[in-house]
Amino acid sequence: MMILSKESFEIKREQDFILFRNRAKEVAAKIGMSQVGQTKLITAATELMRNMLRYADGGTGIMEIIINNNVKGIRLTFADTGPGIANIAQAMQDGFSSGNSLGLGLPGAKRLSNEFNLQSEPGKGTTVTIIRWKNGS
Protein backbone atom coordinates (compact mmCIF):
# COMPACT_ATOMS: atom_id res chain seq x y z
CA MET A 1 0.00 0.00 0.00
CA MET A 2 1.24 3.49 -0.86
CA ILE A 3 0.14 6.91 0.33
CA LEU A 4 -0.32 9.34 -2.58
CA SER A 5 -1.38 12.43 -0.62
CA LYS A 6 -2.07 13.47 2.93
CA GLU A 7 -3.87 16.41 4.53
CA SER A 8 -4.52 17.21 8.19
CA PHE A 9 -7.43 19.09 9.73
CA GLU A 10 -8.06 20.32 13.25
CA ILE A 11 -11.56 19.28 14.34
CA LYS A 12 -12.41 21.48 17.30
CA ARG A 13 -15.99 22.52 16.65
CA GLU A 14 -18.96 21.54 14.53
CA GLN A 15 -18.14 24.20 11.91
CA ASP A 16 -14.94 22.28 11.17
CA PHE A 17 -17.05 19.38 9.84
CA ILE A 18 -18.03 21.41 6.78
CA LEU A 19 -14.50 21.98 5.52
CA PHE A 20 -13.53 18.37 6.20
CA ARG A 21 -16.60 16.94 4.49
CA ASN A 22 -16.30 19.23 1.46
CA ARG A 23 -12.65 18.34 0.99
CA ALA A 24 -13.28 14.61 1.50
CA LYS A 25 -15.99 14.70 -1.16
CA GLU A 26 -13.70 16.58 -3.54
CA VAL A 27 -10.82 14.16 -3.01
CA ALA A 28 -13.10 11.12 -3.32
CA ALA A 29 -14.58 12.50 -6.55
CA LYS A 30 -11.05 13.11 -7.87
CA ILE A 31 -10.17 9.42 -7.57
CA GLY A 32 -13.44 8.49 -9.28
CA MET A 33 -15.48 7.30 -6.32
CA SER A 34 -19.22 7.07 -6.97
CA GLN A 35 -21.69 9.52 -5.43
CA VAL A 36 -23.00 6.78 -3.18
CA GLY A 37 -19.46 5.93 -2.10
CA GLN A 38 -18.72 9.59 -1.39
CA THR A 39 -21.87 9.90 0.70
CA LYS A 40 -21.03 6.77 2.71
CA LEU A 41 -17.54 8.11 3.35
CA ILE A 42 -18.61 11.53 4.60
CA THR A 43 -21.50 10.09 6.64
CA ALA A 44 -19.06 7.81 8.46
CA ALA A 45 -16.64 10.73 8.88
CA THR A 46 -19.38 12.87 10.39
CA GLU A 47 -20.17 10.25 13.05
CA LEU A 48 -16.51 9.93 13.99
CA MET A 49 -16.05 13.73 14.14
CA ARG A 50 -19.20 14.02 16.30
CA ASN A 51 -17.75 11.49 18.72
CA MET A 52 -14.47 13.42 18.94
CA LEU A 53 -16.34 16.59 19.90
CA ARG A 54 -18.75 14.86 22.24
CA TYR A 55 -16.46 12.50 24.12
CA ALA A 56 -13.08 14.17 23.71
CA ASP A 57 -12.14 17.80 23.26
CA GLY A 58 -12.05 17.50 19.49
CA GLY A 59 -9.06 16.08 17.68
CA THR A 60 -7.37 15.73 14.32
CA GLY A 61 -8.77 14.43 11.05
CA ILE A 62 -6.33 13.08 8.48
CA MET A 63 -7.30 12.49 4.86
CA GLU A 64 -5.15 10.38 2.57
CA ILE A 65 -5.39 9.05 -0.95
CA ILE A 66 -3.93 5.55 -0.88
CA ILE A 67 -3.31 2.92 -3.54
CA ASN A 68 -3.19 -0.83 -3.15
CA ASN A 69 -2.83 -3.29 -6.05
CA ASN A 70 -3.53 -0.43 -8.47
CA VAL A 71 -6.80 0.45 -6.71
CA LYS A 72 -7.16 3.87 -5.14
CA GLY A 73 -9.00 4.62 -1.94
CA ILE A 74 -9.49 7.25 0.73
CA ARG A 75 -8.23 6.64 4.22
CA LEU A 76 -9.55 8.85 7.01
CA THR A 77 -8.05 8.88 10.48
CA PHE A 78 -9.66 10.55 13.49
CA ALA A 79 -7.41 10.87 16.49
CA ASP A 80 -8.16 12.42 19.86
CA THR A 81 -6.46 12.53 23.23
CA GLY A 82 -9.70 12.21 25.19
CA PRO A 83 -10.71 9.69 27.86
CA GLY A 84 -10.52 6.67 25.56
CA ILE A 85 -12.88 3.69 25.46
CA ALA A 86 -12.53 1.01 28.14
CA ASN A 87 -14.76 -1.58 26.49
CA ILE A 88 -14.39 -1.42 22.73
CA ALA A 89 -16.59 -4.45 22.00
CA GLN A 90 -19.44 -2.80 23.93
CA ALA A 91 -18.90 0.56 22.20
CA MET A 92 -19.14 -1.19 18.81
CA GLN A 93 -22.57 -2.67 19.60
CA ASP A 94 -25.67 -1.19 17.99
CA GLY A 95 -27.51 0.78 20.66
CA PHE A 96 -24.75 1.17 23.24
CA SER A 97 -24.26 4.77 24.33
CA SER A 98 -22.66 6.25 27.43
CA GLY A 99 -24.14 9.60 26.41
CA ASN A 100 -27.87 8.85 26.21
CA SER A 101 -27.75 8.86 22.45
CA LEU A 102 -28.70 6.24 19.84
CA GLY A 103 -25.42 4.37 20.03
CA LEU A 104 -25.28 3.94 16.26
CA GLY A 105 -22.30 6.12 15.37
CA LEU A 106 -19.43 3.65 15.59
CA PRO A 107 -21.24 0.55 14.24
CA GLY A 108 -22.79 2.73 11.52
CA ALA A 109 -19.39 4.13 10.52
CA LYS A 110 -18.06 0.57 10.33
CA ARG A 111 -20.89 -0.55 8.04
CA LEU A 112 -20.34 2.45 5.76
CA SER A 113 -16.61 1.72 5.43
CA ASN A 114 -14.72 -1.00 3.57
CA GLU A 115 -12.14 -1.18 6.35
CA PHE A 116 -12.48 -0.01 9.93
CA ASN A 117 -9.99 0.04 12.77
CA LEU A 118 -10.49 1.43 16.26
CA GLN A 119 -7.67 1.75 18.76
CA SER A 120 -8.21 3.22 22.17
CA GLU A 121 -6.54 3.32 25.52
CA PRO A 122 -8.32 4.65 28.60
CA GLY A 123 -6.69 7.91 29.68
CA LYS A 124 -4.75 8.23 26.43
CA GLY A 125 -7.28 8.67 23.64
CA THR A 126 -8.95 7.11 20.65
CA THR A 127 -7.93 6.69 17.02
CA VAL A 128 -10.35 5.45 14.38
CA THR A 129 -9.20 4.73 10.83
CA ILE A 130 -11.56 3.99 7.97
CA ILE A 131 -10.95 3.21 4.30
CA ARG A 132 -13.27 3.33 1.33
CA TRP A 133 -11.90 1.96 -1.91
CA LYS A 134 -12.78 3.60 -5.22
CA ASN A 135 -15.16 0.81 -6.20
CA GLY A 136 -15.93 -0.48 -2.70
CA SER A 137 -19.34 -1.98 -1.94
Ligand X SMILES: Nc1ncnc2c1ncn2[C@@H]1O[C@H](COP(=O)(O)OP(=O)(O)OP(=O)(O)O)[C@@H](O)[C@H]1O
One character per residue 80-99, x = contact with ligand X (rule: CB under 6 A): x-xxxx-----x----xxxx
By CB under 6 A, residue 105 contacts ligand X: yes
Look up residue 134 and give its DSSP letter: T
- β partners of residue 63: 7, 76
User: 3-state class of 15 per DSSP?
Assistant: helix
* Rg of the chain taking only CA atoms, in angstroms: 14
N residues, the chain: 137
- Nearest approach, Cβ of 76 to ligand X (angstroms)? 14
Query: Which single residue brings its beta carbon nearest to ligand X?
Result: 105
Residues 78-137 close enough to bind Mg ion by CB under 5 A: 105
Distance of CA 5 to the CA centre of its chain: 17
Residue 97 contact partner, candidates ligand X, Mg ion, none, CB within 5 to 8 A by sort of partner: ligand X
| Strand-strand pairing, 115-121 and 59-68 | unpaired
Residue 51 or 127 having the CB closest to Mg ion: 51
Contacts with ligand X by CB under 6 A lie at 47, 51-52, 55-56, 80, 82-85, 91, 96-99, 101-107, 126
